[in-house]
Amino acid sequence: MSTAPAFAAAREQGRAALVGYLPVGFPDVPTSVAALQAMVEGGVDVVEIGLPYSDPLMDGPVIQRATQAALDGGARTADAFTAVRGAVEAGAPALVMTYWNLIDRYGVERFAADLAAAGGSGLITPDLLPDDAEDWWAASEKHDLDRVYLVAQTSTPKRLAMTAGASRGFLYAVSLMGVTGVASIGAGARELVGRCREITDMPVCVGVGVRTAEQARQVAGYADGVIVGTAFVQALADAPDRKSGVDAVRALASELAEGVREGSSVRA
């Protein structure tokens, strides 16, 4: 399913959407699927499923440790489709967030077909530039999948326009330069969202640096979506056992969803 209905539903309710990330395979595949479903039960509108990768340039230490543990435990690219099916069964659209080498190795057309067959919505590709994405463009169009690209405060007006034109689903606005989970929301995030809205009417979601309900409340005051990853991974990692970890993810999702609702209510 596309992510569009989830953003439209949130908009009709006068609020931003909550987007939650967890990597498949941490601490094992069944628990990661249960945690993804718990996020949805707690109030997450759109799910991001991370594919474990050996060189995750954008990810901070918390997510790096989790994805390495997943790799050590035997997680593979095909496990993403199991996770997608679980998230969709819970009632949320599911995107896969991945570094491009994994898709290239699996086969672009093959991955797109398998993702669509599992009910997935599309891909978030942090290291793939729209200018270099002809194969993905063709496959995503064929299988009706979202293409979510990243924009940053350093993006030029020309780059913003080109990225927005190539995107489908939403724009991922990076709130700060650097890796995930090591700093708070960048001061220029609101300005970046404003720049994006000057050139596109698709939803603009802010990620990198959002970890608490208060931060979610702040971002929900100006963005169409609030993306949270490290905090969910930390909740799962800190739990004494797998069931407690899933419960902690559900509770955090509920707190963040409340923060998003509070922030959305004070939008200009």
pLDDT in tens, 183-237: 457 678 999 999 999 999 999 999 988 999 999 999 999 999 999 999 999 999 9
- Tell me if 252 is assigned to some domain: yes
- Tell me if 189 is assigned to some domain: no
Strands 94-97, 150-151: pairing is unpaired
Q: Taking a C-beta distance cutoff of 8 angstroms, is the pair 223, 16 a contact? A: yes
Catalytic pick from 59, 79, 114, 224? 59
* Total Cβ atoms within 10 A of residue 14: 10
Looking at the predicted structure, is the pLDDT value of residue 168 above 50? yes
Residue 266: predicted pLDDT: 47
φ/ψ (deg, to 5) at 200: -150, 150
**Is residue 108 helix, strand or coil?**
helix
- Tell me if 177 is assigned to some domain: no
- Tell me if 137 is assigned to some domain: yes
Looking at the predicted structure, is the pLDDT value of residue 130 above 90? yes
Q: Tell me the two tokens of residue 243.
A: 């069931």
Rg (the chain; Cα; Å): 17
Q: What's the pTM?
A: 0.94
Residue 75: predicted pLDDT: 95
Least confident of 19-33, 34-48, 203-217: 203-217
Stretch 23-43: mean pLDDT:
98
Binned at pLDDT 50, 70 and 90, residue 267 comes out as very low
Give the structural domain span for 112.
3-142+208-263
- What is the sign of the dihedral through the CA atoms of 236, 172, 72 and 35? positive
Catalytic-residue membership of 59: yes
Residue 180: predicted pLDDT: 45
**Rounded-to-integer distance, Cα 163 and Cα 187, Å:** 22
| DSSP letter string, 167-183 | -BS-EEEESSSS-TTSS
- Which helix (H) or strand (E) segment holds residue 151: the answer is strand 150-151
Q: Is 240 exposed, middle or buried (0-12, 13-18, 19+ CB in 10 A)?
A: exposed
**Rounded-to-integer distance, Cα 43 and Cα 143, Å:** 28
Stretch 108-117: mean pLDDT:
98
Averaged confidence pLDDT in the chain: 92
Q: Taking a C-beta distance cutoff of 8 angstroms, is the pair 264, 15 a contact? A: yes
Looking at the predicted structure, is the pLDDT value of residue 181 above 50? no
Looking at the predicted structure, is the pLDDT value of residue 140 above 90? yes
Residue 178: predicted pLDDT: 46
**Is residue 124 helix, strand or coil?**
strand
Catalytic-residue membership of 48: yes
Stretch 26-44: mean pLDDT:
98
- Tell me if 39 is assigned to some domain: yes
Contacts of 266 (CB under 8 A, 6+ apart): 221
- Tell me if 175 is assigned to some domain: no
Residue 182: predicted pLDDT: 42
- Tell me if 201 is assigned to some domain: no
Strand-pairing partners, residue 20, are 47, 228
Catalytic pick from 45, 48, 146, 224? 48
Stretch 41-68: mean pLDDT:
90
Q: What is the CATH number of the domain that holds 20?
A: 3.20.20.70
As for how many domains the chain has, the answer is: 1
Stretch 98-103: mean pLDDT:
94
- Tell me if 195 is assigned to some domain: no
